[in-house]
Amino acid sequence: MTCQCSKCKPGFFGHRCEFECDVGHYGYNCNETCGHCKDPIQCSTVSGTCLTGCNAGYVGRLCKEVCVFGYYGHGCIKECSKFCNKSRDCNPVSGFCNGGCRNGKKGSYCQEDRSLSGRTIEFYCFIGALGLSTIVIVVLIICIILKWSNNTHQERGHEQLRNTVDIPVAYHAGGACGEYIEFREGNTDNPYDRIQERSNVRYNK
């Protein structure tokens, strides 16, 4: 007569429950699958507990819980890089940044500074030279405008001065003969003094 078990204890299977669960399985009739144990052989066939700990990226007794956001590695104690494209968003196992790095950083962990390429340096040099040239041209234009404006004001001032000091070329001194005294350029004598002298002579006569 053959004995047959109606239900085996966790970790065993078979008609007489004579077989232990295969590696990676545990529980009643070995229906449960072990988690991410560090050593698959060290998964308890009875409870599914990982006896030597979890693989990187997982925690918990059964090693089925993924690291919380922002952490990775064994025990989920390492912080993801803040320079990931989305800060702290990395693979829970490797720590590599999901979606790449922020500007200026490179590498799997986005911790390395990104050096400027030759073309990028040339571009910035060109932009700098263009900006400097623009500034120089603007300054020259401003200087020319100021110089022209100053010359214009000086010419207007001289013109106004000439208009205020213009002297008639002749003055009627009076008298029977209707004498005129001519004022010529280059004459160093004060014309008004000469007029006064002639007037005094006539009155004295």
pLDDT tens digit sequence for 13-71: 998 999 999 999 999 999 999 999 999 999 999 999 999 999 999 999 999 999 999 99
Q: What angle do CA 32, 34, 38 make, to 5 degrees?
A: 175
pLDDT higher than threshold 50 for residue 129: yes
Residue 75, amino acid: G
Question: For the whole model, what pTM was predicted?
Answer: 0.52
Token readout for 51 is 């006896």
Residue 134 has pLDDT above 70, yes or no: yes
Give the pLDDT confidence score for residue 57 in this predicted structure: 97
- Asked whether residue 4 carries a pLDDT value surpassing 80, the answer given is no
Q: Taking all residues of the chain, what is their mean pLDDT, rounded to a whole number?
A: 81
Q: What is the pLDDT of residue 156?
A: 73
pLDDT at 81 over 70: yes
Q: Is the pLDDT of residue 96 over 50?
A: yes
In which band, very low, low, confident or very high, does the pLDDT at 184 lie, cut at 50, 70 and 90?
very low
Question: Which residue did the predictor score with more confidence, 159 or 82?
Answer: 82
